[in-house]
């Protein structure tokens, strides 16, 4: 029988030995190359697929021309995601992911225009106030047919936009087509904060209305829109039009923030996914009075988070929907950055409007979207925005 005193040195030695073994394990775990191969696996967990590594190794070693391992991995990952048949899921290699982040960043170096591709070039949809484009006299309806010597005819919008963007302080020369007249304009690029929300006062038969435009649901979009709502109400607006046409959506959290400007309480949207339980998102408070009538203006380009807001306002009886059917996207994605600098943007669940309706066509298929209460298509080439006129008429009729 041992006394407590006689056991103490052994306990201390045991503890010191355990700590020493732990430190050795940590060291070799971080420096596996120091270990003999039979012992390496004891300290290092190798999660790489041996078959994939074998194929890449064979290709790199024996293919008739040299191959870049990173390129093989990137193309393999892209092909893996493409095999899902999901138009909303993508693998971004490091270069593409950086480009995606730049597109999502409202701080850009350029000339301050919103454009869309046509067979002739880039059609100017909007010119940001105070931008280089505005100071140079560009207006909605102009067509940018060339950047420097390079024609933009039948080119994708990304081609022309990449040429137009550049370092702040540098010059860019554009050839502009206005009607049948061409002119060359040189501008100096500068840092521009792209507005995602705007609000103006329009008058319909003597009734002041606030015309609100939200272009996308980026970080802070809800706060920007709230500022515009408060501005037009302060200027005397008696009714509101929320224009979500051509809004491709964005962050789910911002959709809840936007809907909460107009809905005081209750459900905004619910979500469900295979790896996450059903979650209900409710209004966050601080809504404007529900006595202020409003209309949501939508079209085929209204999608994702924009449809969430439209569905919430419609199902909760807060607004009438004017325009055409929305896109019909019933799923949402998450972006997971990867160790190689790339990212995986993939579908993780479905969302449902307050009435429990999913707007998609089942899974990632395109659905019917939201049917408008009042059908009002925009007429291409018309001098006036006919759909906006119908929205003004609709909301003005509800002003008391």
Catalytic residues: 304, 315, 329
Beta-carbon-side half-sphere exposure of residue 4 (alpha carbons within 13 Å):
0
- State how far the Cα of 139 lies from the Cα of 125, in Å rounded to an integer: 8
Closest by CA position to 330, among listed 314, 349, 312, 345: 349
Report the DSSP beta bridge partners of residue 172. 187
| DSSP states along 342-369 | -EEEEEEEEEE-TTS---SSSTTS----
Q: Is 214 in contact with 242 (CB distance < 8 Å)?
A: yes
Q: Is 310 helix (H, G, I), strand (E, B) or coil?
A: helix
- State how far the Cα of 353 lies from the Cα of 335, in Å rounded to an integer: 23
Cα distances (Å, whole numbers) of residue 96 to 92, 114, 115? 5, 21, 21
The 10 Å CB-count burial string (b at 16+, else e) for 152-191 is beebeeeebbebbeeeeeeebebbbbeeeeeeebebebbe
CA torsion angle 315 316 322 325 (round to 10): -20
Q: Is 299 helix (H, G, I), strand (E, B) or coil?
A: coil
- State how far the Cα of 217 lies from the Cα of 311, in Å rounded to an integer: 15
Radius of gyration for the chain, computed over Cα atoms and rounded to the nearest angstrom = 28
User: How many Å is the maximal CA-CA distance in the chain?
Assistant: 108
- State how far the Cα of 43 lies from the Cα of 81, in Å rounded to an integer: 32
Torsion 327-292-355-197 (CA) sign:
positive
- State how far the Cα of 153 lies from the Cα of 267, in Å rounded to an integer: 47
Name the phi and psi angles at 84, rounded to 5: -70, -20
């Amino acid at each position: 029988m041992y006394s407590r005193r006689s056991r103490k040195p052994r306990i201390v030695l045991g503890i010191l030995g355990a700590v020493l073994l732990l430190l050795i394990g940590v060291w070799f775990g971080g420096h596996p190359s120091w270990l003999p191969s039979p012992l390496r696996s004891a300290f290092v967990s190798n999660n790489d697929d041996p078959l994939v590594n074998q194929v890449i190794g064979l290709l790199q070693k024996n293919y008739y021309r040299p191959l870049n391992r990173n390129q093989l991995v990137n193309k393999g990952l892209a092909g893996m995601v493409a095999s899902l048949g999901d138009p909303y899921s993508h693998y971004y290699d490091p270069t593409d992911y950086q480009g995606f982040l730049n597109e999502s960043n409202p701080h850009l170096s350029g000339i301050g225009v919103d454009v869309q591709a046509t067979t002739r070039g880039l059609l100017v949809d909007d010119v940001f106030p105070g931008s280089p484009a505005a100071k140079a006299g560009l207006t909605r309806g102009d067509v940018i047919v060339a950047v420097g010597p390079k024609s933009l005819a039948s080119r994708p919008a990304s081609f022309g936009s990449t040429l137009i963007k550049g370092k702040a302080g540098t010059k860019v020369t554009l050839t502009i087509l206005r009607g049948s007249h061409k002119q060359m304009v040189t501008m100096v690029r500068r840092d521009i904060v792209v507005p995602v929300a705007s609000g103006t006062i329009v008058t319909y038969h003597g009734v002041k209305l606030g015309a609100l435009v939200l272009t996308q649901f980026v970080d802070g979009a809800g706060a920007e829109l709230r500022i515009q709502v408060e501005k037009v109400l302060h200027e005397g607006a008696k009714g509101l039009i929320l224009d979500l046409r051509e809004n491709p959506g964005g962050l789910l959290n911002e959709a809840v923030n936007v809907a909460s400007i107009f809905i005081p309480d209750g459900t905004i949207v619910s979500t469900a996914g295979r790896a996450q339980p059903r979650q209900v998102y409710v209004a966050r408070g601080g809504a404007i009075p529900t006595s202020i009538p409003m209309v949501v203006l939508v079209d085929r380009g209204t999608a994702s988070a924009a449809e969430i807001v439209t569905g919430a306002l419609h199902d909760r009886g807060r607004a009438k929907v004017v325009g055409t059917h929305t896109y019909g996207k019933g799923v949402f994605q998450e972006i997971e950055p990867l160790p190689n600098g790339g990212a995986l943007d993939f579908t993780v669940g479905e969302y449902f409007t307050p009435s429990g309706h999913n707007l998609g066509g089942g899974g990632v298929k395109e659905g019917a979207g939201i049917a408008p209460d009042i059908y009002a298509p925009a007429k291409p080439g018309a001098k006036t925005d006919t759909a906006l006129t119908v929205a003004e008429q609709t909301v003005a009729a509800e002003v008391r």
